[in-house]
Structures are given as C-alpha cells and as structure tokens.
Amino acid sequence: MAAERLLTAQRKCFVSQRALAEILSIVKDDDEEDLATSRQTLKRKRARELQMETPYGPLWRTMTGFVMEKGRPLTVSYLDPAALLWAVCRDGQGFAEFLVRRNELHPSGPSQPWSICLYMDEVSPGNQLKPSNDRKLQVIYMSLKQLGGLALSKEDSWLLVSCIRSVDVKRCANGMAQVMKRFLEVFLVERRDVLRSGLLLPTANMTLCCKLSLIIADELALKQLWEDKGAGGNKLCFKCTNVVAESSDLHNHDRAGVLMSHANPDKNRMILQTDSGMMKAAKHLAEQHPVLNKGQFKTREMALGLNYVPHGCLYSENLRDQLKPITFSMFDWMHCFLVGGVMQHEMNLLRVLLKQEGIEPEQMCLGCPDGNSRVGLLELLWKQEVLV
C-alpha cells in the first residue's frame, strides 16, 4: 500500500506532521479509502505502538520531578534502553542477525560487556533562519560500539532514546545538565544491573551484556552536560588541567611554569585531567559555595574551569560512584574537525606548501567517495583565491 510504504520509508529530509498528513491523503490507494491520515490519528497510532510490554518492563516511560525555574512541571518521555534493545531485535530481523554476527567477533559477557554509546545534540527542524525557533529539540540516541565503524556511520544503527523541546529544557534549573543527570541515572543506576547482567534478546538467541561507556557530542553539548567553562573561558578544555587561553596571558605570569597557552603545539607539556580530578573539583566547588563570597567563588570557578550547578551530573549523589566524566566524553569529530573548519584550514595550509614545492594538482592523489570523482574537487581546491 502506498501510504504504508511512505510511512515506513527511510526519511531523506524533514517534513512536518501536517504536510505528512496531506501527503498520505493524496497517495492513498483505492483500497485505503478508509485509512485515517490526520495528525491526531498518526499520533494515536504511534502511542499504541509504543505501549509495548517487554520482559524488561514497558518500552515507553516517563520521568518527572525536575527542578523548574519557571513554568509548569516538566514530564519527559523516553524509551527504556533494555526494553528498546529487546524490541528492535524482535521487530527488526536484520538487526538481530547482525547482532549475532558481531557477537561472534566480540563475544559479550558480564566480564566483557559491550559499550553503550550515547549521542546528544540539538536539532532544528523547520525554518533555520527563523529568529525564534521553538521547534528546536534536544535529542538523545544510543548505539553499541561493537557494531563497528561502518555500521555506526549508518543512521539505522542509532536508536532514539528521547527528544525534548529546547524551550522546555531551558525552563529547568541548570538546563541540559539536570536533564542529562536524569538520563545518566537511568543508564548508570536504575538499569545498570539489568544491562550488565545480560539481556536475553528474541530472534537473535543471544544474551547481550552492555554498559554505558561513551557520550559523544560536540563541544557545546559537552559544555552543557558537564558545565565546564568551555571555549569562552580561560580553561578551554575540561580534559586538560594546565592549558589556558592565549588571550588570558596567564601562562606568561605563572611562576611555576605549569600553565601553557592553547596556541602552544607542544603536547608533551599538557597535563591531562582525570575522572577523579574532575569529580574532586566539583566536590570542592560544592563545599566552597556556602563559604566564599560571590566574587571569591566566581574566581574559584574560573580557576577550576567549572560552573557550580547543584542540579547537574557532577553534583549528583546517585552518580558519584559511577560517573566517569573524562572517560565517557568523546568529542564528535564530524562537528569539531569538519564542521568547525579545522580540516579545511589544514587543507589550505597543505595546499600552499605543496604548491611551493612545485607539486601540481594532477600529481596529488585525492580519494573521493565512489561516484563523486567528477565533481571538480581538484579544480575547486586549487583555485587561486582559495590559496590566498
């Protein structure tokens, strides 16, 4: 049936619910005249599909009890990770078969659990140029590291856990830091033992043991998660203890000679932060908050490179023994290296050096994805105005 094929097809671009309802009404076949296609009907059908009971409890769950700064109390819907893995194996035959093949290469067990990867980012459906876009969403996905790099590069390998309107997140005290605290409590406390001891997955006929090991996000999302000072502070990266911004000039006034500028390429001088070190810094801020005055405390936050957010992950008693902020955190290389312009800048520098050495464009071996070898990439890279 045309309408059913459209609903199950992989999305190529965003379409609003109203537009989807109109499209479904147009493409209905003669045998689908009685099929309802309104937005309300689609919502009810989606809700029915999600009301699934599994051996690990209900699939669709809600969390409440957020500390709000303004507005009505927030209720967040999410898909339980254990029930979600069970459901996709039951309904997705190909996914279950793929899990079996990967398990043969990387057997999972309580002593060798697979690694759960969380990905978080803000997406902006609708008009990107709209001054105030209330449709923006904070989205959380999950996948498994042992699926392999090729599989993880495919959209179908990432399972949606939850999505929350950004305007609702902003109403929460400490914003995304509090929201992610609740989700990390799900993975690291509430469902930790179930995931670690093993999920008996249908169809796949295997027991999957897994645990949360990675949180992948861009710099801004990780800043919202851990509430470090980030790129706008004196300590630019929460994974280093002695790297400061060049503009701060702190490295030139450090008598001990420990601090270094972020413009210094000597990686051997970097002192990396540890999980325990970051947790101790957060604990120190919590202890000093009622003691120091406002100015002194602000200076202490700047020195440690952290903001004090009492409802955030680093200050949760439930997560204290399980949280590993440095080990868990992974910068999304696509955002940082490609979208952020680092790769383009390095390529520009490389092309200038190659041209100085007399290397012509046809002598360069640039690999292009299959089917894209004729897009004029070499010509574009070697335009004179690009090299300036």
* Same domain, residue pair 175 and 259: no
Q: Which tokens sit at 380?
A: 């574009």
Please tell me the predicted confidence (pLDDT) of residue 147. Answer: 95
* Same domain, residue pair 178 and 108: yes
The total number of structural domains in the chain stands at: 4
387: pLDDT strictly greater than 50: no
pLDDT in tens, 262-281: 999 999 999 999 999 999 99
Please give the average per-residue pLDDT across 328-335, as a whole number: 89
Looking at per-residue pLDDT, the higher value among 359 and 324 belongs to: 324
Domain of 13 in residue numbering reads as 1-50
40: pLDDT strictly greater than 80: no
pLDDT in tens, 224-269: 999 999 887 889 889 999 999 999 999 999 999 999 999 999 999 9
* Same domain, residue pair 186 and 260: no
CA–CA distance, 190 with 186 (Å, rounded to integer): 5
- Give the residue from 261, 288, 308 where a domain finishes: 308
Residue type, 202: P
* Same domain, residue pair 171 and 317: yes
pLDDT in tens, 282-323: 999 999 999 999 999 999 999 999 999 999 999 999 999 999
* Same domain, residue pair 108 and 196: yes
* Same domain, residue pair 12 and 126: no
Please tell me the predicted confidence (pLDDT) of residue 49. Answer: 73
> Quick count: other Cβ atoms within 10 Å of Cβ 13?
4
pLDDT in tens, 96-146: 899 999 999 999 999 999 999 999 999 888 777 777 778 889 999 999 999
Whole-Å CA distances, 324 to 90, 263, 313, 329: 32, 28, 10, 8
Q: Which tokens sit at 36?
A: 């309802």
* Same domain, residue pair 56 and 194: yes
* Same domain, residue pair 120 and 216: yes
Q: What is the pTM of this model?
A: 0.81
pLDDT in tens, 191-203: 999 999 999 998 7
* Same domain, residue pair 68 and 217: yes
What is the DSSP secondary structure assignment for residue 113, as one 8-state letter? Answer: P
Query: pLDDT band for position 334 (50/70/90)?
Result: confident
Contact 165, 57 (CB under 8 A): no
Instruction: Determine which helix (DSSP H) or strand (DSSP E) holds 208, and give its type and residue range.
Output: strand 206-208
**Residue pointed to by tokens 């995304």:** 176
**Which residue, 229, 252, 227, is CA-closest to 241?**
229
* Same domain, residue pair 321 and 256: no
Range of weakest confidence among 7-11, 65-69, 127-131, 182-186: 7-11
Query: pLDDT band for position 29 (50/70/90)?
Result: low
Please give the average per-residue pLDDT across 27-50, as a whole number: 66
* Same domain, residue pair 304 and 197: no
CA–CA distance, 286 with 297 (Å, rounded to integer): 10
**Which residue, 302, 304, 312, 303, is CA-closest to 280?**
304
Query: pLDDT band for position 388 (50/70/90)?
Result: very low
6: pLDDT strictly greater than 70: no
What is the DSSP secondary structure assignment for residue 270, as one 8-state letter? Answer: -
Angle at 24 between CA 20 and CA 27, to 5 degrees: 135
Average predicted confidence (pLDDT) for the chain: 85
